[in-house]
């Protein structure tokens, strides 16, 4: 078995195919001033941010050290390990020499970590104690070549000390040699200390000899010690050259600032030469010793390092890049102000921020970053760009592809379109967002006025799909040729390919989500965007053995309605409704907290630590602050079917609902579930339910304030609570009708309609026509509970829903 | 292995298959045809998330 470390999220092999294993060094109270300051302020979250930044810049393991005079190391380490274990994807290196701290952390850590470190300073007492812990908890360890006589300076002493530690750990305790990483220690060659002139030579020799003498063991090194005391720019180059030499000698792992490693090929020939001379202490034929030459060289040639670091981020660039990727807003302005000392605001956007968002998109595409975290990244991006834009020089214009977005005429749903806006505008595109219910004429006019490159149309309703199809011809006749992207719940790739593409001259592309929109815009820029195509092969319908028409029973009993006419109920306790919220759908669907590639344990931990608390907070506000005010207008009416229509009797008035029938077998139509006049007539229920407009108003404010994450959370919560209210009231009506004999035992039973009858929402697949809202409103007068209709027959507030209730046992959801 | 539709909450259980779409018991989610959709809400395979 290959020796590996693991976190909740992933395993990492100690011997990388391409060494070294990079161990991030900045989460160390002794090595990082920033980490120490945050620790001293008990700012554990701030400490975590440093770890996340290390991870973002390439660390494969994080060295975590909180040993600092005056602090309670046990408390700090247990708090930090618990926090890091949840939030950091890479495994941890527990950096402590105190057995009590090591044991507490090993107990706590939900993976396989590595302890840093053991040594022979006290002759082996502590070593033996820690070895028994390593054995018990199955951990790996770093062993320093330190003995009773101190730190080993020569290769011989380093190897001898390593052998003694090896014999105790492997011989006495039965640890695997492959779980030991020997740190042969290195000392600075930059201090001018004569006794340290060959420090690098001794260390490199020791690495080679330890690996030869102790088969199977690994080696590790705190690389940057080699350059202690030298200037920052020259340190980076020397560290990189030394790391290269150590790896050549067999080094397996390096504890280093992950963002500051330069590949040897990027280091200038002259820079390399002075580094080699210093490391190998070469002075033949030179007037000055190698250290003097090294310092002089870098004093003169300081900028050569900058050109060699092309493509690599460092300092402020690295910090800002990591902040966007990780969604951290702390000290963003400070980092940006450092950044603009090095580059123009425009360059900062194009060379740091946009690539960071591109990285976010890649991580999302691979299922490694979930939508809510993407929105947090977009918030940082937005904040950074807003800070930079006023600093731009006049005439320094961002060259941006322009995208027009609109929710189509007759549709008030804007969350989908707004998510596309967030993703596109924060990936460097100029978005012209025209809002909701936008007429075709306005879209044509604005497309010309803003000379847009791409048009994106959105709509949730079934009717909106028809509106999109019909409008395409108008766009073509108006002379538009830009690609048109279509998105929305009622669309399918087949509908777009077969019904929409032929209507327009330019590309027409189906987009399943905001990132599909981003992909399409990029494809357009690259000149390779093509219309959506669809093939029947592989579709399920094509494989069906031929569905037959459903035989709808005609002899089912008609229940007794508790009353005829309409009632309005406004004092519904939200606590009665909330149990009907399907949290699986809310968390995974509306909010995007999907398990995706996480392990079951990691997902549980995400839910428990992050998602459930968001839900609990909203529930608390729903109940205590009146965020959710459920109200219902509902009633029962005598009715009879006639062909595809249902005639509903209300006093002397008759309201006729015409329902569409499926074009293909089983040819279902809602009217089939109601008896005809000849069969004795039937009873139909109707409801309009709403949770009020508080959530809608607050969500709008959040969106305007660029609080994308909170916007998505609140809006999604509102949608699911509205659905829960419909579910709850449908159950109430089944009870009133006396047909609640076999109710579902859990929420998944509501999903599959494991109850008698069905409710069909207006505007949804079984009855897409919103015109039906006219008779529904005549019957129920929902204006009395604060729900009104727009000119396009949509309900306001948006968080409202309507339905016709069928009691027929065969009535279940279907799509026309 | 059970997969849940993030759009509507329907659970695909390979032990039960999907009778509404003519999928026999024993068909793993990964081997469902690309055109397969949620039998309740018609969302595509990409809307599904591992449940356990």
Residue A532 at interface with chain B, using a CB cutoff of 8 Å = no
The residue that leads in pLDDT, A257 or A151, is A151
Q: What is the mean pLDDT of residues A278-283?
A: 90
Q: What is the mean pLDDT of residues A738-742?
A: 90
Task: Kindly list the residues from chain B whose CB atom is less than 8 angstroms away from the CB atom of residue A600.
Answer: 50, 52
pLDDT at A306: 37
Confidence category of residue A194, pLDDT binned at 50, 70, 90: confident
Q: Which single residue is written with the structure tokens 């069928």?
A: A806
pLDDT in tens, A655-701: 999 999 998 888 899 999 999 999 999 999 999 999 999 999 999 99
CA distance A745 to A724: 16
pLDDT at A347: 87
Characterize the bridge pairing of strands A140-144 and A114-118: parallel
Residue A810 near residue A673, CB atoms below 8 Å: yes
Interface test with A, best of B1, B3, B6 (most A CBs within 10 A): B6
A431: which 2 tokens? 């978005």
Q: Provide DSSP, B10-44.
A: -EEETTT-BGGGTBPTT--GGGS-TT-B-TTT--B
* Contact: A813, B40; criterion CB under 8 Å: yes
Residue A544 at interface with chain B, using a CB cutoff of 8 Å = yes
pLDDT in tens, A396-454: 677 789 999 999 998 888 889 999 999 999 888 999 999 999 999 999 999 999 999 99
pLDDT cut 90: percent of chain A above it:
63
Task: Kindly list the residues from chain A whose CB atom is less than 8 angstroms away from the CB atom of residue B4.
Answer: 584, 588
A749: which 2 tokens? 């039973």
Confidence category of residue A285, pLDDT binned at 50, 70, 90: confident
Interface test with A, best of B9, B23, B40 (most A CBs within 10 A): B9
Residue A183 near residue A142, CB atoms below 8 Å: yes
- The length of chain B, given as a count of residues: 52
Query: Sheet harboring A430-433: ordered strands across?
Result: A430-433, A402-407, A454-458, A484-487, A508-510
For B52, the closest of A544, A594, A600 (CB atoms) is A600
Confidence category of residue A543, pLDDT binned at 50, 70, 90: very low
pLDDT in tens, A99-109: 999 999 999 99
Our CA dihedral for A466, A646, A777, A471, rounded to 10 degrees, sits at 10
A704: which 2 tokens? 């305007």
Confidence category of residue A268, pLDDT binned at 50, 70, 90: confident
Confidence category of residue A545, pLDDT binned at 50, 70, 90: very low
Residue A153 near residue A145, CB atoms below 8 Å: no
Looking at chain B, which residue has its C-alpha nearest residue A765?
Answer: B41
Residue A485 near residue A511, CB atoms below 8 Å: yes
Residue A599 at interface with chain B, using a CB cutoff of 8 Å = no
Is a pLDDT exceeding 80 seen at residue A466? yes
Q: Which single residue is written with the structure tokens 């991006």?
A: A381
A175: which 2 tokens? 């640890």
**A625: CB partners within 8 A, 6+ apart:** none
- The length of chain A, given as a count of residues: 816
The segment with the largest mean pLDDT, out of A250-264, A296-310, A465-479, B12-26, is A465-479
CA of residue A47 relative to chain centroid, distance: 21
Task: Kindly list the residues from chain A whose CB atom is less than 8 angstroms away from the CB atom of residue B6.
Answer: 584-585, 588-589, 594
Residue A673 near residue A688, CB atoms below 8 Å: no
CA distance A100 to A81: 14
CA distance A60 to A57: 9
Interface test with B, best of A493, A514, A751, A753 (most B CBs within 10 A): A751
CA distance A376 to A355: 16
* Contact: B46, A600; criterion CB under 8 Å: no
How far A593 CA sits from the closest chain B CA (Å)?
10
What pTM value is reported for the model?
Answer: 0.63
Q: How many CA atoms lie within 13 A of A151 on its CB side?
A: 11
CA distance A77 to A89: 18
Which secondary-structure segment (H or E) carries A636? strand A631-642
Residue A544 near residue A660, CB atoms below 8 Å: no
Is a pLDDT exceeding 50 seen at residue B11? yes
pLDDT at A548: 53
CA distance A601 to A367: 17
CA distance A82 to A62: 14
Give the CA angle between residues A309, A314, A320 to the nearest 5°: 135
Phi, psi dihedrals of residue A528, rounded to the nearest 5°: -135, 35
pLDDT at A642: 94
Q: What are the Cα distances from residue A60, in Å, to A10, A167, A240, A464? A: 10, 29, 17, 48
Residue A751 at interface with chain B, using a CB cutoff of 8 Å = yes
Is a pLDDT exceeding 60 seen at residue A331? yes
Exposed, middle or buried: residue A399 (CB in 10 Å: 0-12, 13-18, 19+)?
exposed
Q: What are the Cα distances from residue A546, in Å, to A542, A668, A674, B35? A: 9, 15, 26, 17
Share in percent of chain B as helix, strand, coil (round to 5): 15, 25, 55
Confidence category of residue A371, pLDDT binned at 50, 70, 90: confident
Our CA dihedral for A702, A708, A710, A715, rounded to 10 degrees, sits at 80
Averaged confidence pLDDT in chain B:
89
Averaged confidence pLDDT in chain A:
90
Task: Kindly list the residues from chain B whose CB atom is less than 8 angstroms away from the CB atom of residue A545.
Answer: 22
pLDDT in tens, A20-76: 899 999 999 988 888 998 999 999 998 998 898 888 878 899 999 999 888 899 999
Residue A481 at interface with chain B, using a CB cutoff of 8 Å = no
CA distance A93 to A116: 6
How far B14 CA sits from the closest chain A CA (Å)?
16
A719: which 2 tokens? 């949608």
CA distance A125 to A802: 75
Task: Kindly list the residues from chain A whose CB atom is less than 8 angstroms away from the CB atom of residue B35.
Answer: 538-542
Interface test with A, best of B1, B19, B41 (most A CBs within 10 A): B41
How far A191 CA sits from the closest chain B CA (Å)?
57
**Nearest C-alpha neighbor of B50 from the set A79, A588, A774, A247:** A588
Confidence category of residue A537, pLDDT binned at 50, 70, 90: low
Q: What is the mean pLDDT of residues A533-551?
A: 57
Q: What is the mean pLDDT of residues A170-186?
A: 94
Omega into B42 within 30° of 0, i.e. cis?
no
B23: which 2 tokens? 């999928």
Is a pLDDT exceeding 60 seen at residue A296? yes
Task: Kindly list the residues from chain B whose CB atom is less than 8 angstroms away from the CB atom of residue A582.
Answer: 9
Residue A538 at interface with chain B, using a CB cutoff of 8 Å = yes
Characterize the bridge pairing of strands A800-806 and A758-761: antiparallel
A48: which 2 tokens? 């975590």
Residue A540 at interface with chain B, using a CB cutoff of 8 Å = yes
DSSP state of A664: S
pLDDT in tens, A571-621: 899 999 999 999 999 999 999 999 988 888 889 989 998 999 999 999 999
Q: What are the Cα distances from residue A341, in Å, to A151, A307, A468, A525? A: 43, 17, 48, 31
CA distance A765 to A668: 12
A427: which 2 tokens? 């990936």
Phi, psi dihedrals of residue A90, rounded to the nearest 5°: -85, 155
Q: What are the Cα distances from residue A425, in Å, to A340, A345, A379, A706, A747? A: 22, 17, 11, 12, 38
Q: What are the Cα distances from residue A363, in Å, to A121, A373, A387, A421, A743? A: 45, 11, 26, 19, 43
Residue A403 near residue A456, CB atoms below 8 Å: yes
Q: How many CB atoms sit inside 10 A of residue A778's CB?
A: 12
Residue A345 near residue A392, CB atoms below 8 Å: yes
Q: Is A18 helix (H, G, I), strand (E, B) or coil?
A: coil
Strand partners, A655: A648
Confidence category of residue A312, pLDDT binned at 50, 70, 90: very low
Exposed, middle or buried: residue A359 (CB in 10 Å: 0-12, 13-18, 19+)?
middle
Q: Provide DSSP, A74-95.
A: HHHHHHHHHHHHHH-SSPEEEE
Q: What are the Cα distances from residue A583, in Å, to A81, A449, A579, B8, B9? A: 29, 44, 9, 11, 9
């Amino acid at each position: 078995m290959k020796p590996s470390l693991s976190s909740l999220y992933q395993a990492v092999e100690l011997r990388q195919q391409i060494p070294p294993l990079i161990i991030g060094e900045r989460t160390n109270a002794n090595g990082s001033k920033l980490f120490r300051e945050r620790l001293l302020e008990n700012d554990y979250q701030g400490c975590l941010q440093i770890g996340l930044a290390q991870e973002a810049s390439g660390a494969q393991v994080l060295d975590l050290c909180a040993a600092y005079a005056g602090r309670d190391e046990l408390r700090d380490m247990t708090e930090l390990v618990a926090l890091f274990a949840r939030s950091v994807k890479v495994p941890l290196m527990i950096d402590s020499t105190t057995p009590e701290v090591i044991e507490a952390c090993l107990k706590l850590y939900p993976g396989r970590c590595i302890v840093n470190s053991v040594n022979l300073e006290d002759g082996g007492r502590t070593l033996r104690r820690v070895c028994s812990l390593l054995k018990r908890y199955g951990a790996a360890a770093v062993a320093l070549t330190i003995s009773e006589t101190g730190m080993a300076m020569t290769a011989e002493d380093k190897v001898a000390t390593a052998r003694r530690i090896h014999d105790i750990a492997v011989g006495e305790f039965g640890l695997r040699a492959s779980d030991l990483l020997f740190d042969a220690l290195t000392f600075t060659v930059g201090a001018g200390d004569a006794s340290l002139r060959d420090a690098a030579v001794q260390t490199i020799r020791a690495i080679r000899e330890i690996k030869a003498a102790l088969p199977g063991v690994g080696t590790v090194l705190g690389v940057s010690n080699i350059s202690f005391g030298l200037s920052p720019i020259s340190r980076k180059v020397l560290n990189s050259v030394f790391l290269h030499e150590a790896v050549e000698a067999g080094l397996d792992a390096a504890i280093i600032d992950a963002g500051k490693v330069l590949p040897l090929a990027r280091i200038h020939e002259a820079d390399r030469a002075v580094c080699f001379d210093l490391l190998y202490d070469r002075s033949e034929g030179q007037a000055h010793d190698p250290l003097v030459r090294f310092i002089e060289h870098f004093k003169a040639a300081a900028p050569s390092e900058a050109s060699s670091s092309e493509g690599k981020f460092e300092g402020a660039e690295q910090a800002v890049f990591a902040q966007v990727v990780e969604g951290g807003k702390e000290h963003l302005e400070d980092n940006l102000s450092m950044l603009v000392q090095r580059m123009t605001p425009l360059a900062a956007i194009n060379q740091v921020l946009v690539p960071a968002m591109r990285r976010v998109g890649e991580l999302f595409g691979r299922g490694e970053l979930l939508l809510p975290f993407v929105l947090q990244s977009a918030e940082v991006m937005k904040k950074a760009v807003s800070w930079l834009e006023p600093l731009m020089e006049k005439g320094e214009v961002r060259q941006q592809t322009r995208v027009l977005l609109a929710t189509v005429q007759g549709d008030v749903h804007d969350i989908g379109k707004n998510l596309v806006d967030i993703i596109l505008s924060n990936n460097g595109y100029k978005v012209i967002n025209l809002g909701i219910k936008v007429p075709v004429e306005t879209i044509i006019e604005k497309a010309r006025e803003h000379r847009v490159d791409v048009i994106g149309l959105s709509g949730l309703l079934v009717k909106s799909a028809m509106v999109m199809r019909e409008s395409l011809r108008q766009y073509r006749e108006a002379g538009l040729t830009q690609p048109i992207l279509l998105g929305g719940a009622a669309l399918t790739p087949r509908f777009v390919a077969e019904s929409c593409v032929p209507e327009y001259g330019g590309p027409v592309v189906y987009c399943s989500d905001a990132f599909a929109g981003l992909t399409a815009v990029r494809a357009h820029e690259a000149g390779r965007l093509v219309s959506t195509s669809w093939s029947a092969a592989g579709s399920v319908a094509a494989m069906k053995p031929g569905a037959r028409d459903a035989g709808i029973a005609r002899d089912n009993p008609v229940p007794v309605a508790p009353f005829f006419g309409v009632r309005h109920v406004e004092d519904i306790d939200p606590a009665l409704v909330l149990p009907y919220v399907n949290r699986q759908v809310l968390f995974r669907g509306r909010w995007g907290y999907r398990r995706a590639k996480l392990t079951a344990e990691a997902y549980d931990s995400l839910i428990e630590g992050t998602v459930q608390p968001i839900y609990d907070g909203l529930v608390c506000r729903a109940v205590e602050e009146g965020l959710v005010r459920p109200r219902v207008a509902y009633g029962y009416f005598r009715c009879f079917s006639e062909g595809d229509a249902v005639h509903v009797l209300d006093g002397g008035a008759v309201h006729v609902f015409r329902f569409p029938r499926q074009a293909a077998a089983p040819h279902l139509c809602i009217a089939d579930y109601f008896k005809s006049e000849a069969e004795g007539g039937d009873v139909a229920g109707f409801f309009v339910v709403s949770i009020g407009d508080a959530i809608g108003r607050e969500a709008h404010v959040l969106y305007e304030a660029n609080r994308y994450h909170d916007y998505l959370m609140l809006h999604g919560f509102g949608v699911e609570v509205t659905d829960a209210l419909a579910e709850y009231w449908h159950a109430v009506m089944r009870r009133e009708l006396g047909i609640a004999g076999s109710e579902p035992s859990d929420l998944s039973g509501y999903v599959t309609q494991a109850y008698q009858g069905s409710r069909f929402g207006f505007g949804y697949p079984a009855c897409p026509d919103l015109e039906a809202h006219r008779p529904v409103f005549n019957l129920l007068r929902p204006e009395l509970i604060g729900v009104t209709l727009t000119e396009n027959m949509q309900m306001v507030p948006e968080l409202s829903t309507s339905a016709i209730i069928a009691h027929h046992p065969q009535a279940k959801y279907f799509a026309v | 292995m059970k997969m849940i539709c993030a759009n509507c909450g329907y659970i695909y259980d390979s032990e039960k298959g999907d009778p509404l779409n003519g999928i026999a018991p024993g068909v793993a989610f990964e081997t469902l045809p690309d055109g397969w959709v949620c039998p309740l809400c018609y969302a595509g395979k990409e809307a599904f998330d591992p449940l356990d």
